[in-house]
Chain A
Amino acid sequence: MTDKRKSSLILTTPLTRRTALKGLAGGLGAAAALGTAPGFVRYAQAASSEPIKIGFECHRTGIGAAYGRWYERTTNAAVKLINDAGGINGRPIQLIIEDDGTDAKRGTEVMEKFASEHKVDVVFGTLFSNVVIANGPTAGELKMPYYVVSEGHQVASGKMNRYVFQPGITDVKSQVMSVAPFIVGNLGKKVTQIFPDYAFGYDHRDNLPPAIEKAGGKVMAQIAIPPTEKSFTRYFPQIPADTDVIYHVMVGPAVLTFVKEMGEFYGSKGPQLFSFIDSLEAVDMATPGLEFLNGSHFWEGSPRYLQANAGEAQKFYRDHVGIDDNGAAKGDPKDVSTAGHMFGCWETLYVIKKAMEDAGYQGPDDKKKLIEATEAMTAFAEGKEHPQGDKTFNGKIHQCFGHQNISKFEDKKLTVVHRTSIEDGMYEPEGDYTTEKL
């Protein structure tokens, strides 16, 4: 009900960019004005028909804008569905979007604005880690429940605070650990890592070797590439000759150059390749130059391409977000989605809904109850609310754990060839937020 437009109330037109975004502006006046619309009949029976305000801090501009666009579309789709089904505790969600420019300092300003000006019930949606890291302490000071969709390890590391959660997407440490058994078991035991020489690369550098060794393999070499590098050929001779698998997680505009040059270096008979879709998220896999990746494997959070064995929940989710069988926007095949990650927005919203229902959430006075109800969750079943798959949730570190998809790139498509178990990505908790005072 974040939009007064009829399409958000009656399922007649396809979801659009604006459908779920608009502020109520008139608050209750909107409900009164449209009181005859079917969507509102249900709300009228709730104790209060005032909306639940969710502040959506979105990377609308700046370096994260390509992700922000799809986070926004996915979020709109989920909010619309929740509202069409009666909202949360009989109250509609009002989504208030603020752009943070993918800028850490602006992120904290937005967080404060959500608290003081918009007076939201929860804040949701941040992706980029630098923004999450800056926002976490602010959320704690403001006692604002803050649900991030970042896949960073910062929440699970125990270094944030009791108000910060990541219940809708697994963290990078878990992802890296869980792919190791597949790599060693199927691609080869001798692994060489190539990664950009900064924090993102270090997650892979630090978390992969122990998992590879546990699976019976060995990391032969770790090659760190300076982030400003534009050409990579001179690094390839550093790859040990007996390497079975190259594990590469390059990101940024030079990824395509990296792939092309690696193809030129190895020709048709190089080692096996394993990567994370982060490298090519939102990039059309049918792009010239990517042929060299044929036969290589990728981690995907949620599969970009509709799989032959996809369940009803996955189809339902894709249909409502508006992506086609190739993971691109319906009717705009070149607008490839960030399918590997954006499901996290959808699932997080359903976690917020469930937690509010469990807490009997009525308003900001119930924020402590909401925190405790979120922490009390232990598992999410696969279904329309969790289309990526079932998950467990560790209330002590505020982090979910789930299955990961390993997809093979063939015929210009990614096909899931292995799905990790939740246990593959489990690790000892590094903290316990529940001991902190609320």
Chain B
Amino acid sequence: MSAGLALASVEPAFAHAGDAGFVLLLPTGYYLVGGALAVALSFAILAVVPPGPLARLAEWRRVLFAAPWEWRLVLSWLSFAGFAALLLAGWWGSRDPLSNPLPLVFWTILWGALTIVEGLVGDFWFWINPWYGPYRLLAALRGRSGAEDGERALPGGLAYWPAAVLFLGFAWFELVYPAPEDPARLATVLLVYYLANLAAALVFGYSAWVRQGECLSAFFRMISRLALFSGRRDEKAHKRTIDLALPGARLISADALPASGILFLLLALSSVSFDGLSRTFTWLGFVGINPLDFPGRSAVVGVNTAGLVGMAVALCGAFLLAVWLGHLLCGSAVSFRRTAGALAWSIIPISLAYHIAHNLTEILVNAQYALAAISDPFALGWDLFGTAGMHVHAGITAGYDSAWAIWNSQAAVIIAGHVLAVLVAHAIAWRLHGSARKAVLSQIPLALLMVFYTVFGLWLLASPTGA
């Protein structure tokens, strides 16, 4: 031990001066002020514009086409086969997390990119959910009709609690656990997760479990309410009708969430916020870690677990306080529970904005690694898709010009997400209270919180990072 301490005094370090350094040269302070003004101004404009036309816009739909239900079964089995192959690759492919397809596909393509597609385009996960096919088979073997069984909820007081608990575990694994990208460990974790959730779906019913139990399905389903395209059941035609709606429109008409649902949504936002915060000099300095000499995740498991939970508690507290103050201000007859449950949906655009901003650079580089890795999943020299030998252009996110472009994209996304959130929250409030005046009054504290969160989001991205 003493030898180790003595040696610690002769330590070269290689904290990278690159990409994060360029951001420090940009006039990010103006963006923070500009972002805050943009969000505040959006709220001010909404306060004087009659909400009627906005609500009508939100109700606008256009039927596009109808997709047969059978597609879902086929796609799910294909997805399941891909998942199984990825697990095998996780155990028996390359040990390098940037050559093995499992961590790349799971973290970069599924969690990183699909979340964005779900939020912007629509609920692809509904079609490719790898639990559906095997569930149908097992349910049929048990003599149950496994057909899509409608909008079910979990029994008793369970509601979204399973999803919230699982999501906290998922976020911890992603952000705090020392080796989430280790292919073999990830494969084992995912297998256990898959089987446990398959069993739970058999107990509680598929529809209820993917809606409120399995956290990825639940999250994708919720965030896809923001998207352009949505699906709805057509019982007679045995099809799913795909509609076009304005972004965020379907958040306004969503049913109020129970307490567990609010927590679940806020957990998603707080975890990505903490992902950003935990890398900043500010946080590292706060927990006594030298940001230039980051010792590795193993050394910060305790403080980052506390930080992850603390961030969730703080965000829940801030959100509920803002809603409660608004509730007092407007003196509405609508219950606080229902108000909070309805307004929670307005968090989704912010959640997606944070997700995009924080994952953008990783997706740009690691998607290339993923493309190469899937051509040779078991490191056997295959070239299934002709991409195995491709050179990964890591320079795509490097240098001053890229830093400028990335920062501007991130800032635009963060600000747009918050402006949309203010808009959605306002329309929800109008629906709840039935009066433009009450809607505005009730939204003042929440709008202030959103202005703050805009600045916080931009500050996270503009701050020097060291982990």
Contact = CB atoms under 8 A, between A and B. Distances in A.
Contacts of A96: 95
Interface of A: 3-7, 13-14, 16-19, 21-23, 25-26, 58, 60-64, 66-67, 69, 72, 96-107, 127-131, 133-134, 136-137, 150-154, 157, 159-160, 172-173, 196, 198-200, 202-203, 227-228, 230, 251-257, 260, 278-284, 287-289, 322, 328-329, 331-336
Instruction: Please tell me the size bucket of the interface on B.
Output: 35 or more
Contact of A104 (B10, B96, B299, B369): B299
A22 B21 contact: no
B25 A101 contact: no
Given A104-B296, A104-B299, A105-B296, A281 B14 contact: yes
Contacts, number: 281
A199 B99 contact: no
B207 to A, nearest CB: 37
A281 B395 contact: no
A281 B17 contact: yes
A281 B297 CA distance: 24
A60 to B, nearest CB: 6
B395 A7 contact: no
Given A61-B181, A105-B178, A332-B391, A22 B25 contact: no
B17 A280 contact: yes
Contacts of B400: 284, 287-289
Contacts of B95: 23, 96-99
Given A22-B380, A283-B18, A17 B284 contact: no
Given A14-B391, A153-B10, 19 more contacts: A4-B380, A5-B381, A17-B98, A25-B379, A60-B98, A62-B297, A129-B10, A129-B13, A131-B296, A160-B7, A227-B291, A228-B285, A252-B291, A255-B21, A256-B21, A288-B25, A322-B391, A329-B394, A336-B399
Contacts of A131: 296
Contacts of B392: 17
B10 A257 contact: no
A101 B296 contact: yes
Contacts of A7: 389
B389 A16 contact: yes
B293 A134 contact: no
Contacts of B7: 129, 133, 136, 154, 157, 159-160
A301 to B, nearest CB: 11
A97 B93 CA distance: 11
B143 interface: no
B21 A25 contact: no
A104 B372 contact: no
Top 9 closest A-B pairs, CB basis?
Answer: A103-B296, A334-B395, A335-B395, A4-B381, A199-B11, A105-B298, A22-B379, A200-B13, A252-B15
29 contacts: A4-B380, A6-B381, A7-B389, A17-B391, A18-B94, A18-B372, A18-B389, A23-B95, A60-B98, A61-B97, A63-B16, A63-B467, A72-B96, A99-B97, A101-B179, A102-B296, A130-B295, A131-B296, A137-B3, A150-B12, A151-B12, A198-B13, A203-B12, A253-B465, A260-B25, A283-B18, A329-B394, A335-B393, A335-B395
B430 interface: no
Contact of A18 (B99, B285, B297, B399): B99
B388 A253 contact: no
Contacts of A137: 3-4
Nearest to B369: A17
A322 B393 CA distance: 13
Contacts of A333: 395
